[in-house]
Amino acid sequence: MSAYAHRKTSSVRRSQKIMNSFLYVLLTAGGLVILVPFIWMLSTSLKIPSQVFAWPIEWIPKPVKFSNYVEALSMRPFILYYGNTFFITGLAVLGQVFSSSIVGYSLARLRWRGNNLVFALIMSTLMLPEIVRMIPTFVIFSKIGWVDTFLPLILPHFFAGAFNVFLFRQFFHSLPKDLDEAATVDGASLFGIYWRIILPLSKPVIGIVAINTFRYSWNDFLHPLIYLNDTKLWTITLGLRAFQQEFNIDWNLLMAASATSMLPILILFVIAQKYFIQGIVFTGVKG
Amino acid sequence: MKRSRRARREELTGWLMASPWIIGFLFLTLGAMTFSLGMSFTDYDFFNKPSFVGLQHYKQMLFEDELVWHSIGITTLYALFSVPLTLVLGLLLAMILNQKLKGIALFRTVYYFPSVLPEIATIFLWILVFDPSFGLFNSVLKWFSITGPNWLGSMEWALPSFVIMSLWGVGGGMLIYLAGLQGIPTELYEAATVDGSNRFTTFMRITLPMLSPVIFFNLVMGIIGALQVFNQAYIMTNGGPARSTYFFMLHIFYTSFQEYRMAYASALSWLLFLYIGLLTFIVFRFGEKKVFYS
């Protein structure tokens, strides 16, 4: 290596170093801006009222009132709302995983007339705004007496969401065809192949679909709002909304209740971060 | 003979296994949409027997109901700022977070963390952030002796507040672009370095074209999402003050689920569908030539 080239690389390296420190400063500053609202929420949730309104902002709660959480959760029957939400969300996840995977399997690995047409139809529904279907289904579900039941919130998930079918289909396509053939020779039925061979290999997609559905159902506000009038059937999101309207000055308690409602998602995020990321990424890249 | 029996069985099983979606589609999509379209030509109000009124609702929607154009305007204005801003910011962040730096994984997590949080709880968090007297923004502004605006309570600042809030979720888009960036073959960059391209040319000639399908898809999804904003508007401002955040979805919601004018609301929902279709079509027409599919 010539002396000139050597000098050049070392100056490049130095400028790279300056660039990197600049990036660190930028990223740290930006990261703080991103995190501050969340940290502020947690800090507010542990404060006494007078501290909530203090200026300049007191970041560290003094005293740290953990009892805010107990108080917030007892001001409305939040335990009941949690139970309802977990029930709905759990069944929604179960429904989406099974129905979407079985449809995806049929589309990806079985030969039948109409296969391509059905797939094209599935893709064409992706752009449909939910409200177009929501008004007529509300009318029908009301007329058959499904208002104030969980059915409108659960049952549709057993009919395979378009995007989830798409994810399963793409994944099943990537699995080697020999798997099915070997199993067929061994006398397995088509359903048996799906159930015993393909599904156990599909943990990554199952994880993504399960988490996406969990987040959707857990966050759902509009469907519970129109279908659940009976407060005994309310979900977390409806409970939070009512809490805000009723006690809108108790910010510390509202923040405590909100933070609690984030907890299951945060726990899920910590134990299954990979699926969270892939779920977000897949919704974009596979276009 | 045996083969054809197997093929027949496969045909039948194929339909059977696809039936959850097919049945759902027939009832919850096709059936529901047909019902909705038919209903929009009647005066159905949920309680009384409907009678045919022809195109009256469509006439009312397009020429008489001022709130339709007002709310479509608000919604479009929001999309016009929120979608490009999140797109550019997300792309920029992804390029920075794609650098090989120590601890970069931690930074990535920090930046997409808000997009993981459940939406309704974050809405309450933002109501507090925007509070004019002791919210985060105005408390910080007060340090600099600036009296901050009334944010959600002011006609000028309510809609911008929604845009600011949407930027908090920029990390979701960032992740998608990041995955796209990591999918670009390194040989392309090596070739560009050999050719002596500078950073800007490399970005314009390699990064942007290779990423264009992802950007394009995100743009379309962003538009579709922004046109259907509901939760934030309903909970944070209820469309106010003075309808300055009266999004189109709010108009449909109040018409259908509060006033029970189901037929008219159905017509409105078709307008939303057509509007989304129209914008998507326009984006496709202009995007087609710019998008590079390898």
Residues A33-52 have pLDDT tens digits of 999 999 999 999 999 888 88
Domain identity same for A44 and A138: no
Task: Identify the band that residue A284 occupies on the pLDDT scale cut at 50, 70 and 90.
Answer: low
- Give which of A51, A132, A216, A241 to mutate to test B binding, by max B Cβ within 10 Å: A132
- Cβ-nearest to A284 among B18, B136, B176: B176
- Assess whether B92 and B180 both reside in one domain: yes
Point out the residue among A105, A132, A135 whose CB comes nearest to the CB of B262: A135
Q: Which residues of A touch B258 (CB under 8 A)?
A: none
Print the domain residue range for B158.
55-287
Give CA separation, B90 vs A71, A80, B175, B232, B293, in Å.
39, 39, 8, 21, 21
Which range, of A116-120, A186-190, B64-68, B157-161, averages the lowest pLDDT? A186-190
**Do the Cβ atoms of A24 and B101 come within 8 Å?**
yes
Same domain, A122 and A83: yes
Residue A62 confidence (pLDDT): 84
Residue A259's closest CA among B165, B125, B44, B60? B125
A276 vs A151: which has the higher pLDDT = A151
* Total tally of structural domains belonging to chain A: 2
Rg from Cα positions in chain A = 26
Shared domain for B115 and B206, answered yes or no, is yes
pLDDT over threshold 80, residue A282 = no
Provide the pLDDT for residue A91. 98
pLDDT for B135 equals: 87
Section B146-175 average pLDDT? 91
Mean pLDDT of B47-75: 92
Same domain, A26 and A141: no
Q: Which residues contact B273 (CB under 8 A, 6 or more apart)?
A: A128, A129, A132
- Minimum mean pLDDT range among A4-13, A113-122, A256-265, B178-187: A4-13
Angle between the B66-97 and B170-182 helix axes, to the nearest 10 degrees?
A: 50
Q: What is the dihedral of CA B71, B72, B76, B78, to 10 degrees?
A: 20
Which residues of chain A does B124 touch, with a Cβ-Cβ cutoff of 8 Å? 240, 244, 254-255, 258
Domain end (from A47, A65, A83)? A65
- Are A170 and A274 within one domain? yes
- For residue range A62-74, what is the model confidence (pLDDT) as tens digits? 888 898 999 888 8
Q: Do residues A50 and A135 both lie within one domain?
A: no
Residues B63 and B34 reside in one and the same domain: no
Across all residues in chain A, what is the average pLDDT?
88
pLDDT for B212 equals 87
User: Same domain for B135 and B250?
Assistant: yes
Q: How confident is the model at residue A1 (pLDDT cuts 50, 70, 90)?
A: very low
Q: Quick one: tokens of B51? A: 């009678």
B137 to chain A, closest Cα gap in Å:
10
CATH no. for residue B138?
Answer: 1.10.3720.10
Pair (A94, A45) in one structural domain: no
B70 and B10 in a common domain: no
**Is the pLDDT at B290 greater than 80, yes or no?**
no
What mean pLDDT is predicted for residues A153-179?
91
A57/B139 CB distance under 8 A = yes
Residues A73-111 have pLDDT tens digits of 888 899 999 999 999 999 999 999 999 999 999 999 998
Shortest CA distance to A72 belongs to which of A269, A266, A236, A267? A236
Same-domain status, A187 and A133 = yes
Considering the domain architecture, whether residues B240 and B125 belong to the same structural domain is answered as: yes
Kindly state whether residue B123 falls inside one of the protein's structural domains: yes
Band (B3; pLDDT cuts 50, 70, 90): low
pLDDT tens per residue across span B76-122: 999 999 999 999 999 999 999 988 888 888 999 999 899 889 999 99
Q: Are residues B130 and B246 in the same domain?
A: yes
Find, among B215, B217, B216, B210, the residue nearest to B292 by Cα.
B210
Closest CB from B14, B175, B216 relative to A112: B14
What pLDDT does B294 receive?
57
Predicted confidence at residue A5, as pLDDT, reads: 55
- Residues A15 and A93 placed together within one structural domain of the fold: no
Whether A46 and A154 map to the same domain: the answer is no
Q: For residue B124, tell me if it sits in a domain.
A: yes
Q: Are residues B189 and B221 in the same domain?
A: yes
Domain match, B90 and B20 both = no
In a domain, B220, yes or no: yes
CB contact under 8 A, A258 and B124: yes
How high is the pLDDT of residue B226?
94
* Omega of the bond leading into A136 within 30 degrees of 0 (cis): no
pLDDT score of A8: 59
Alpha-carbon gap: B156 to the closest alpha carbon of chain A (Å): 23
Q: Which residue has the tokens 């990535």?
A: B108
Judge if B174 and B261 occupy the same domain: yes
CA of A57 vs chain B CAs: smallest distance (Å): 7
CA–CA distance, A248 with B167 (Å, rounded to integer): 25
Assess B127–A contact: CB distance below 8 Å, yes or no: yes
Q: Which of A16, A88, A57 is nearest to A236 (CA)?
A: A88
DSSP conformation letters of chain B: -HHHHHHHHHHHHHHHHHHHHHHHIIIIIIIHHHHHHHHTTB---SSS---B-TTHHHHIIIII-HHHHHHHHHHHHHHHHHHHHHHHHHHHHHHHHTS--TTHHHHHHHHHHHHHS-HHHHHHHHHHHT-TTTSHHHHHHHHTT-----GGGSTTTHHHHHHHHHHTTHHHHHHHHHHHHHTS-HHHHHHHHHTT--HHHHIIIIIHHHHHHHHHHHHHHHHHHHTT--HHIIIIITT-STTTT--HHHHHHIIIIIT--HHHHHHHHHHHHHHHHHHHHHHHHHHTTT----
Q: A126 and A223: one domain?
A: yes
Answer yes or no: do A227 and A147 share one domain: yes
Query: Is residue B207 in some structural domain?
Result: yes
Span A206-228, average pLDDT = 94
Mean pLDDT of B146-164: 92
Number of domains chain B contains: 2
Distance CA A216, CA A90 (A): 11
Q: What integer is the mean pLDDT of A255-267?
A: 93
Identify whether B246 is part of a domain: yes
Mean pLDDT (chain B, rounded): 90
Among A27, A226, A286, most B C-beta atoms within 10 A, so best to mutate, is A27
Look at residue B59 and tell me if it is in a domain.
yes
| Residue A285 banded pLDDT, cuts 50, 70, 90 | very low
Q: Across residues A53-57, what is the average pLDDT?
A: 79
Residue B294 within any structural domain of the chain: no
Contact A118 B21 (CB under 8 A): yes
Task: Encode pLDDT of B250-259 as tens digits.
Answer: 999 999 999 9
Give B52's strand partners.
B42
Count Cβ–Cβ pairs < 8 Å, chain A vs chain B: 261
Q: Do A265 and B101 touch (CB under 8 A)?
A: no
In a domain, B44, yes or no: no
B97 and B161 fall within a common domain: yes
- Residue B235 contacts A, CB cutoff 8 Å: yes
Mean pLDDT along residues B4-11: 85
> How much is the pLDDT for B279?
93
Instruction: Residue A82: give the domain boundaries.
Output: 69-285
Cα A224 to Cα A154: distance, rounded to the nearest angstrom: 11
- How do residues B198-213 score in pLDDT, each as one tens digit? 888 888 888 888 888 8
Structure confidence at residue A287 (pLDDT): 34
Same domain, A108 and A43: no
- Same-domain status, B155 and B238: yes
- Closest B-chain CA to A117: B22
